[in-house]
A and B are shown apart, each in its own frame.
Chain A
Amino acid sequence: MGYLKDQPLDVRTVAHQVVSPERGGVVTFVGAVRNHHAGRAVLRLEYSAYGPMADLEFARILEEAESRWPAKVAAEHRVGTLEVGDVAVIVVAAAPHRGAAFDACRYVIEEIKRRVPIWKREHYVDGTAGWVDPMVPEGVSLPVE
């Protein structure tokens, strides 16, 4: 199962993998490309990944969530060039009740950000570009390459 997609993501396609009549609580997280980062105007960005490990890590994270909560969770992440507003990541968690669905969805998106080997190169309106380091606090300009 490949979790990385080089084509536009679709919430219904992801949700279709986990919704079912017995799961009445469905929580969807959609991450879209922001038009600003660390005080700079972003034009577009490129996601790249260590594909084989990213797929394995996605599978591990979803398995962890499904063992911790009575939920089914599906997720996909874009790679390639994205424009402002394009969807970068989708997580859908479905459970019999909303509590487990919220918790499982939150767990999966946080673990994706923490563990999946994906990188983001931003192109700014001023024509420069740089790799994003989420450990650099907001408001601090990154070195530009």
Chain B
Amino acid sequence: MNGVIRIRVLLFARYAELMGQTELVIDVSAPATVRTVLDSLRARTGGEQLPPSPLVARNRVHAQLDTALDDGDEVAVLPPLAGG
């Protein structure tokens, strides 16, 4: 698929602090993966401090950097988990 897809990005905890926001919408060229979204985040203020391979989720399920994305997907960038 060609064209542009719109992704809702969620940021949490330290990553939300780094980027100064908890949620944003970004448009990326298709075909896109989670990595495409991360590259776009890194070009923004604070985003350059994101680690090379953070934990990520697509539509509330753990995902990989090469997980493919569709228009309207939600991508969450997850700092090291510390529950329990």
Interaction A to B: yes
**List of A residues within 8 angstroms of B78 by Cβ:** 50, 117
- Asked if A132 and B12 make an inter-chain contact with CB atoms under 8 angstroms apart, the answer reads no
> Which residues of chain B are within 8 angstroms of A54 by Cβ–Cβ distance?
83
Residue contact B81 to A119, C-beta cutoff 8 Å: yes
* Contact present for B76 and A89 (CB under 8 Å): no
Q: List A residues 85-111 near B (Cβ within 8 Å).
A: 88-89, 109
Query: Contacts A50-B76, A119-B13; is A77 near B82 (CB within 8 Å)?
Result: no
Closest to B79 in A: A119
Interface centre among A89, A119, A135 (most CB of B within 10 A): A119
Q: How far is the CA of A48 from the CA of B16 in the complex (A)?
A: 12
Interface residues of A in 40-67 (CB under 8 A from B): 47-50, 52-54, 56-57
Contacts of B84 in A (CB 8 A): 31, 77, 88-89, 109, 112-113, 116, 118
Our pick among B10, B12, B60 for the contact of A48 (Cβ within 8 Å) is B12
- The listed residue with most A CB atoms (<10 A of its CB), out of B10, B61, B62, B80, is B80
Per-residue contact bits, chain B 56-84, to A (CB 8 Å; 1 contact, 0 not): 01001110000000000000101111111
| Residue A145 interfacial (CB < 8 Å) | yes
Interface bits B1-30 vs A (CB < 8 Å: 1, else 0): 000000000101110010000000000000
Contact A48 B80 (CB under 8 A): no
- Specify which chain A residues have a CB less than 8 angstroms from the CB of B60 in the assembled complex: 50, 52-53, 56
The smallest beta-carbon distance between B22 and chain A, in angstroms, is 10
Inter-chain contact A112/B76, CB cutoff 8 Å: no
A119 adjacent to B12 (CB under 8 Å): yes
Contacts of A121 in B (CB 8 A): 13
List chain B positions with a Cβ less than 8 A from chain A: 10, 12-14, 17, 57, 60-62, 76, 78-84
Give the B-binding residues of A (Cβ under 8 A).
31, 47-50, 52-54, 56-57, 77, 88-89, 109, 112-121, 131-135, 145
